[in-house]
């Protein structure tokens, strides 16, 4: 009997060319598909909730695949993990309705961007944060961060090469926290454009340094001019934390 299996996936993106199967490198999707094919003894096509770029990490990516199998749902994750490298882990595996699609049924996603803010870098965080030795004004960063909340045309926050049909997105909430030398930026939205979170993070870093004014966010939303915003922050600091769904699964 064909079943639809939903996976919750965590991965360290350091050694991969992003989520999607690549022709010029190894994608996380491909690694999981190959592991699932070995376990299920059939070709597997995995649908992810969305792409993550090279070097980006996930604690709660969601994907689904259909397979004719009798393996118990919770044993699927065990079997897959036995066939996956240590930097990719299936946290959960559950049966969902056949019509469920992890990409199109997603209601919102939460990302976290991590900054290591200290005079001296920490080698243990080099693959999991961006290093900023400058003093950052957290108050200004928080004020600027709040300006992206709401439904806006985020064209200015999109990197070149995006194939998005519309650039209107809704950001539901933002939050900034500091713990020791780590500053964490949290953003939840209906969806995000190509490099949107990294552009927001880079802009906030520039605001914190005093290189950009808080008003650059509002001005960019109004004018849709990418040049008004800051740098695109490095991929290493970005984590996909969770994907939420309206439907009861």
**pTM for the predicted model, two decimal places:** 0.94
Which residue in 12, 53, 95, 137 is the catalytic one? 53
Annotated binding residues for substrate, written as ranges, equal 111
Same fold, 2-104 and 108-244: yes
- Phi-psi group of 160: left, alpha or beta (phi > 0 → left; psi -120 to 50 → alpha; rest → beta): beta
Q: Convert 144-163 to b/e letters by CB count within 10 Å (16 or more is b).
A: bbbbbeeebebbbbbeeeee
User: What CATH number does the domain located at 2-104 have?
Assistant: 3.30.70.580
Q: List pLDDT tens digits, range 217-248.
A: 999 999 999 999 999 999 999 999 999 997 64
CB atoms within 10 A of CB 74: 11
Annotated binding residues, written as ranges, equal 111
Q: What is the mean pLDDT of residues 199-227?
A: 97
pLDDT score for 160: 76
The domain limits of the chain are 2-104, 108-244
Residue 11: closest CA among 81, 65, 79, 66: 81
Decide if pLDDT at 113 tops 90.
yes
- Known catalytic residue at 53: yes
Q: List pLDDT tens digits, range 23-68.
A: 678 999 999 999 999 999 999 999 999 989 999 999 999 999 999 9
Q: What is the mean pLDDT of residues 197-225?
A: 97
CATH class for domain 108-244? Answer: alpha beta
Q: Count Cα neighbours of 81 within 13 Å in the Cβ-side half-sphere.
A: 16
- Determine phi and psi for 169, rounding to 5 degrees: -140, 160
């Amino acid at each position: 009997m064909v079943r639809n299996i939903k996976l919750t996936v965590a991965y360290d993106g350091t050694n991969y060319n992003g989520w999607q199967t690549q022709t010029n490198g190894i994608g996380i999707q491909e690694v999981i598909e190959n592991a699932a094919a070995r376990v299920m003894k059939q070709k597997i096509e995995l649908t992810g909730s969305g792409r993550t770029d090279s070097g980006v990490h996930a604690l709660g990516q969601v994907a689904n695949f259909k397979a004719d199998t009798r393996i118990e749902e919770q044993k699927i994750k065990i079997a897959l993990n036995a066939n996956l490298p240590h930097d990719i882990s299936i946290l959960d595996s559950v049966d969902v309705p056949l019509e469920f699609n992890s990409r199109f049924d997603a209601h919102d996603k939460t990302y976290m961007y991590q900054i290591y803010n200290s005079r001296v870098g920490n080698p243990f965080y080099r693959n999991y944060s961006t290093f900023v030795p400058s003093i950052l004004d957290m108050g200004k960063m928080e004020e600027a961060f709040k300006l992206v909340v709401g439904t806006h045309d985020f064209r200015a926050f999109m990197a070149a090469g995006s194939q998005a049909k519309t650039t209107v997105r809704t950001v539901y909430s933002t939050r900034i926290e500091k713990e020791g030398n780590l500053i964490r930026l949290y953003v939840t939205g209906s969806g995000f454009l190509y490099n949107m979170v990294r552009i927001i993070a880079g802009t906030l870093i520039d605001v914190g340094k005093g290189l950009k004014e808080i008003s650059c966010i509002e001005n960019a939303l109004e004018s849709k001019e990418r040049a008004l915003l800051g740098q695109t922050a490095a991929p290493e600091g970005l984590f996909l934390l969770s994907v939420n769904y309206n439907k009861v699964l």
